[in-house]
């Protein structure tokens, strides 16, 4: 079979709920992947930051294989000898009293919403069925019916109603908007759900002090600060968690993706006893959540992140990535700016959101051996595995700049140089 045959199979038998680049991958190791023809690529997406520890990390895969040969699933009807060890490990690692294990990011977000509501009614004294959760414009928290109910991405929402009530959407990176919403809904707000950096929206890094200010407002109004670190967590942004940049401890922490290094679906909700203890037997659960394989894999994946200093690597390599790419972008007409934190970065293409320029750039980069994907039309996210060597990262930067060069001047209706130039070509954050 050639790549076209594999793609044809997906096209005929799979629902068309994604629009992938036409590349069929067959193998991965570290920061590299290979297609079915044996062509090598740098993976600059990392499965949306799930593969922070690199593809097929031997310690993580080893833990999975060993556990899979021993015991895979007991359900939570019985105890198993991995879950408690994992729960202690993950609680110590992130500094919380308790964890509630789930499988996917969206499930963990749903869990956090249920937890916040229950806390609101049973601890905070909000009248039954009146709790509100404040969320942000352009949020991405997953794909369940409730989660898309508070999205403003029409493509994600349209024709999936009726929607779930109980959410108030405010501008991101706007403490005044948060304060106003808390004030206007005093005594009814269970929590503020926020991504410390908006990943899917296009890697929007909020102003310095935003997370700290938001946490303080939540404390002042007696509401829970809920951080969705599914994409930003596990060393991606240069710290274990993105909230660590401002020394903020969320009341509820949501993790997924790289908590398993991308080898198995694992997600987690962490909170202290005052919040987590509202959940009693039978009130929430999942057949696979906290299974022995997930527990063993997550312990290995979190251990690797520490042992290999992935946060420090992300911080250092991220600085280099932005400064090298920034040098080119300074004199580019096709690329407006590079922004991000750690190794979660994006380049904004100087074209309108519906143009296919960013897509075409990604297609060309793939030909040259680098995989990345546009997010929201004219923004390309670059998030290689954190184990990437500096040399390979710079090879990647070369491919990116060589490709951008080919596209200079071809954007539809591009605007003259002086209007393009962002005052800061590199948003140093
Ligand atoms: C990917 C993501 C999710 C959803 O995770 P799934 O595992 O795809 O359900 C939730 N929140 C954020 C911030 C994400 O990036």
Give the pLDDT of residue 93: 98
Determine the average pLDDT of the residues in 266-293: 98
Structure-block tokens of residue 271: 């909170």
Atom from ligand 1 closest to the CA of residue 195: 13
Determine the length of the chain.
429
pLDDT digits (tens, 9 = 90+) for 315-331: 999 999 999 999 999 99
pLDDT of residue 94 exceeding 60: yes
Give the pLDDT of residue 13: 98
Structure-block tokens of residue 188: 């009814």
pLDDT digits (tens, 9 = 90+) for 190-214: 999 999 999 999 999 999 999 999 9
pLDDT of residue 89 exceeding 70: yes
pLDDT of residue 299 exceeding 70: yes
DSSP annotation of 22 reads S
Active-site residue flag, 239 = no
Contact present, 113 and 271 (Cβ < 8 Å): no
Determine the average pLDDT of the residues in 42-55: 98
Instruction: Report the alpha-carbon distance of residue 218 to residue 250 in Å, rounded.
Output: 10
Delineate the domains of the chain, giving CATH numbers in brackets: 3-56+309-412 (3.90.1150.10), 58-307 (3.40.640.10)
Give the pLDDT of residue 304: 98
Cis peptide before 237 (omega within 30 of 0): no
Selecting among 42, 140, 192, 225, the annotated active-site residue is 140
Dihedral of alpha carbons 88, 91, 95, 97, sign: negative
**Rounded-to-5 percentages of helix, strand, coil across the chain:** 40, 15, 45
Contact present, 31 and 394 (Cβ < 8 Å): no
pLDDT of residue 415 exceeding 50: no
Sequence-distant (6+) residues with CB within 8 A of 286 are 76, 101, 102, 103, 107
pLDDT digits (tens, 9 = 90+) for 335-389: 999 999 999 999 999 988 888 999 999 999 999 999 999 988 899 999 999 999 9
Contact present, 193 and 133 (Cβ < 8 Å): yes
Selecting among 43, 228, 244, 251, the annotated active-site residue is 228
Selecting among 32, 118, 215, 257, the annotated active-site residue is 257
Atom from ligand 1 closest to the CA of residue 199: 15
Give the pLDDT of residue 411: 53
pLDDT digits (tens, 9 = 90+) for 124-147: 999 999 999 999 999 999 999 999
Distance of CA 197 from the midpoint of ligand 1 (Å): 13
Determine the average pLDDT of the residues in 382-402: 98
Computed over every residue of the chain, the mean pLDDT equals 95
Candidate from 106, 204, 205, 264 with most ligand 1 atoms within 8 A of CB, to mutate? 106
Candidate from 17, 136, 140, 383 with most ligand 1 atoms within 8 A of CB, to mutate? 140
Active-site residue flag, 228 = yes
Active-site residue flag, 257 = yes
Instruction: Report the alpha-carbon distance of residue 328 to residue 132 in Å, rounded.
Output: 46
Give the pLDDT of residue 180: 98
Atom from ligand 1 closest to the CA of residue 49: 15
pLDDT digits (tens, 9 = 90+) for 152-169: 999 999 999 999 999 999
Atom from ligand 1 closest to the CA of residue 104: 7
């Amino acid at each position: 079979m050639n790549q076209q045959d594999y793609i044809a199979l997906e096209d005929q038998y799979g629902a068309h709920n994604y629009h992938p680049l036409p590349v069929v991958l067959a193998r991965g190791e570290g920061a590299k992947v290979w297609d079915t023809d044996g062509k090598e690529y740098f993976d600059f997406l990392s499965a949306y930051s799930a593969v922070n520890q690199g593809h097929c990390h031997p310690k993580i895969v080893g833990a999975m294989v060993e556990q899979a040969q021993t015991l895979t699933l007991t359900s939570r009807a019985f105890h198993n000898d991995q879950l408690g060890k994992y729960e202690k490990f993950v609680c110590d690692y992130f500094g919380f009293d308790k964890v509630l294990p789930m499988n996917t990011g969206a499930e963990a977000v749903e869990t956090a919403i249920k937890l916040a509501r229950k806390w609101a009614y049973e601890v905070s004294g909000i009248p039954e069925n009146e709790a509100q959760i404040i969320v942000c414009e352009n949020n991405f928290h997953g794909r369940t019916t409730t989660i898309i109910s508070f999205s403003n991405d029409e493509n994600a929402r349209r024709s999936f109603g009726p929607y779930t009530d109980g959410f108030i959407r405010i501008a991101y990176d706007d403490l005044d908007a948060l304060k106003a919403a808390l004030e206007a809904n005093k005594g009814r707000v269970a929590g503020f759900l926020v991504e410390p950096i908006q990943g899917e929206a296009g890697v929007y890094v909020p102003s310095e002090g935003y997370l700290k200010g938001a946490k303080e407002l939540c404390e002042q109004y007696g509401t829970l600060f809920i951080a969705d670190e599914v994409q930003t967590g596990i060393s991606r942004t240069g710290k274990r968690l993105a909230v660590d940049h401002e020394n903020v401890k969320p009341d509820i922490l949501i993790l997924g993706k790289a908590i398993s290094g991308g080898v198995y679906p694992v997600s987690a909700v962490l909170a202290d006893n005052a919040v987590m203890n509202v959940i009693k037997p039978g009130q929430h659960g999942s057949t696979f959540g906290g299974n022995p394989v997930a527990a063993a894999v997550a312990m290995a994946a979190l251990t690797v992140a520490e042992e290999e200093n992935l946060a420090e690597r992300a911080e250092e390599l991220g600085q280099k990535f932005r400064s090298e790419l920034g040098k080119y972008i300074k004199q580019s007409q096709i690329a407006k700016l590079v922004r991000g934190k750690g190794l979660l970065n994006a380049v904004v293409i100087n074209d309108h959101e519906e143009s296919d320029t960013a897509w075409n750039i990604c297609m060309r980069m793939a030909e040259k051996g680098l995989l990345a994907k546009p997010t929201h039309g004219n923004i390309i996210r670059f998030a290689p595995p954190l184990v990437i060597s500096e040399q390979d990262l710079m090879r990647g930067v070369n491919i990116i700049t060589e490709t951008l060069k080919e596209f200079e001047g071809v954007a539809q209706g591009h605007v003259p140089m002086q209007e393009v130039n962002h005052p800061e070509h590199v948003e140093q954050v």
